[in-house]
Structure 1
């Protein structure tokens, strides 16, 4: 391997065509993922017009995709065993197939199972896609590009709301068409990845001792003068790394922080966002659609602000402050449901912007917490822990909202956000230097 020591570190290569191809491939997948998650609330609202759906089934259908996302722990583990390439080449095709199947069933149990399968496919993009992105991007671009893909996820999530409103007039078939509409975005992502054939991860190959193939990929994509960084070429090959490593002395705090902040954030974000139509209706606003659109614009603006400023503020301070501001705004909103409509809309907008600005850490921070040997497993585990929070939010909040009122549901979100602030304030590790 000595002949490669004079090669330049490929992670310092200038941004080129291969970097752009990887970035676009991941961004297209993120749009499909965000749309898949966002569309379920409007589909459930449409289904309620024709089916007698209990609050429990509302919660299960809404959280089915998030339950599937709990499989991130297994997808990440699989990616650390077999690599990134093949999983990302097929998952969008499977997601498209599962989305189309939803057109042909009104059975709630079968729909719930399909939604879990869709969640598993999204889990691949969340874990494996993020790992491949950070392992290919130039060091000076990695964190910026990884944070910016949240804009595309948010774009998919936000546009699901107006598209879901537009799809109507198909009677009992309407809610199934709404659910299946994601196929438009997932097929675009799948066909792009097939057309441009995503490269494998040199860093992952090196971590498995396959230095020759890693250097071949680098030189094919970037040119002969580029190769593995010296520290990777001296890796002792990792053939099997136990999942329990995440809970040893070195990784335990990182696992708690990564999973903990993500779970608290997901509880409030998905619990409110997916059931936005139900929440707005119970807030007694004269026009439920306009506040919903304003809320979704607030989410996109919040993520945009987060992308712009996250590299200029420490991770710990930024995360803690987003939790505190969103907790205060949702707490005040819970106490102000009988106030002027625009006061409620403004508080809701502040909540949306502050909470969503912290979404940029879901990918960047969890990736920074773990090294390449266990990165996909670590990120997958954090996502799996976060899905517990997301599931509880989407399953419990509609039930709490129906039985105990919107104020109680929002107060539960307040508690989750305060817990997130405490986890970040006490345990968060500062990793900002890794992206500079």
Structure 2
């Protein structure tokens, strides 16, 4: 529940910024560059996932997760007291940095408390709660009204409510330390103790984890994820996540601007249709995730999503109703791919470098997300919405081809075969 609440809060905090900026434009003049920067601020802060990931491998996942939501609430409240564009941008960056803790340390802590057979399934479900938070952020804008020039500030502040709820819950629930992290610190006895305290005496470390604890070395550079052992996985994770994030956040956060440029007047109706399609896509993605291999899912999702956007980009005279159908289908397809974000990125790295590896991949993704959020409204305004769709379609096509050539298979059946031969990653330290 502590991780679920964090995911909901993260989704809400990311979405609400775009709606708030759109509302702010009714009362203050905001140049296109600042619209993009403030909208992308949270995602720029999320690029700090690299530092957070490395820090979580050094000091532990639990310590960061016990603090970040309190800070997120405090920073969000600070946005109530300024209309300065630079100050607002910097606070959004700090909000993103706090969210980065949940993206890296939270995801890592969860997978390290789950048995191997359950980790992929549970992680694929996390995106449901993130999506619900994202949709709640869009829906909240319909209720935070009637405050004139304060309306957009209240939208920016509103994530503080969910952040505080999450922070208090984590304090009361007392998150346990990751057993894998303790093993990698050379403390297998402490790991055994925390497992038995939280799960009972029937559970304990696997023999491989006990042996690993004897030779554990907690000191390594973040550049380890670019060594020969991890470079392929780091590259695939970075490219797939960055391309997906560029398109998803660029379109989702500034949906009213894009829809308006498409000539559709009822932007709220399209917004609800888009967000509803997003939830359908995530639920569909979870079903497909458990039936296809990771490679098949990744490549197929990119290919189909790209086709939708290229169709919207090239067919400039497409009838409005068909345009809505294709746009909704795109939302379903791309949202289905979000299911891969948590499970696949974690599976690409073993537990000794997982925090750093996931942090690096998330950093790449946030660079992509920030670029999309910054560039797409500018491209849409200065050129056309069709050009924005074409750019996103080409990027998704490239990511699909890159995955086709290099993406490793990490699904449970494949991992089980590797584990039997003594290879593979250790997603969980537990055995019954």
Fold conserved (TM > 0.5)?
Answer: yes
Q: Could you say which residue in structure 1 is the equivalent of 2:189?
A: 212
Q: Could you say which residue in structure 2 is the equivalent of 1:104?
A: 81
In the TM superposition, 1:19-418 aligns within 5 A as 24-235=1-212, 236-418=215-397
In the TM superposition, what is the alpha-carbon distance from 1:335 to its structure 2 partner? Answer: 2.9
Q: Distance in 2 between matches of 1:323 and 1:410?
A: 14
Q: Distance in 1 between matches of 2:169 and 2:312?
A: 43
Instruction: Provide, for residues 186-224 of structure 1, a one-character-per-residue CA deviation record: whole Å limited to 9, x for no partner.
Output: 111111101110000011101111112111101111122
Secondary structure of residue in 1 paired with 2:290: helix
**Alignment CA distance shift 1:337-1:293 (3 Å):** farther
Instruction: Provide, for residues 236-256 of structure 1, a one-character-per-residue CA deviation record: whole Å limited to 9, x for no partner.
Output: 111202111111111000000
Q: Could you say which residue in structure 2 is the equivalent of 1:427?
A: 406
Q: Distance in 1 between matches of 2:160 and 2:370?
A: 24
CA contact (8 A) 1:142 1:435 kept: no
**Alignment CA distance shift 1:350-1:435 (3 Å):** farther
Q: Distance in 2 between matches of 1:256 and 1:74?
A: 18
Q: Distance in 1 between matches of 2:30 and 2:238?
A: 32
Structure 1 stretch displaced more, 194-203 or 181-190 = 181-190
Q: Distance in 2 between matches of 1:337 and 1:122?
A: 38
Q: Which runs of 5+ in 1 are unaligned?
A: 1-23
Q: Distance in 1 between matches of 2:33 and 2:142?
A: 24
CA contact (8 A) 2:44 2:370 kept: yes
Q: Distance in 1 between matches of 2:297 and 2:93?
A: 32
CA contact (8 A) 1:140 1:435 kept: no
Q: Could you say which residue in structure 1 is the equivalent of 2:422?
A: none
Secondary structure of residue in 1 paired with 2:201: coil
Find runs of 4+ consecutive structure 1 residues off by over 4 angstroms.
Answer: none
CA contact (8 A) 1:42 1:165 kept: no
Secondary structure of residue in 1 paired with 2:99: helix
TM-score scaled by length of structure 1: 0.93
In the TM superposition, what is the alpha-carbon distance from 1:141 to its structure 2 partner? Answer: 1.8
In the TM superposition, what is the alpha-carbon distance from 1:165 to its structure 2 partner? Answer: 2.2
CA contact (8 A) 2:262 2:385 kept: yes
Q: Distance in 1 between matches of 2:282 and 2:415?
A: 19
Q: Distance in 1 between matches of 2:220 and 2:279?
A: 38
CA contact (8 A) 2:310 2:389 kept: yes
Instruction: Provide, for residues 260-302 of structure 1, a one-character-per-residue CA deviation record: whole Å limited to 9, x for no partner.
Output: 1000000100000010011111111131111110000111111
Q: Distance in 2 between matches of 1:337 and 1:86?
A: 52
Secondary structure of residue in 1 paired with 2:112: helix
In the TM superposition, what is the alpha-carbon distance from 1:185 to its structure 2 partner? Answer: 1.2
In the TM superposition, what is the alpha-carbon distance from 1:89 to its structure 2 partner? Answer: 0.5
CA contact (8 A) 2:288 2:297 kept: no
In the TM superposition, what is the alpha-carbon distance from 1:435 to its structure 2 partner? Answer: 6.8
Q: Distance in 1 between matches of 2:223 and 2:265?
A: 52
Structure 1 stretch displaced more, 137-146 or 125-134 = 137-146
Q: Distance in 2 between matches of 1:166 and 1:196?
A: 31
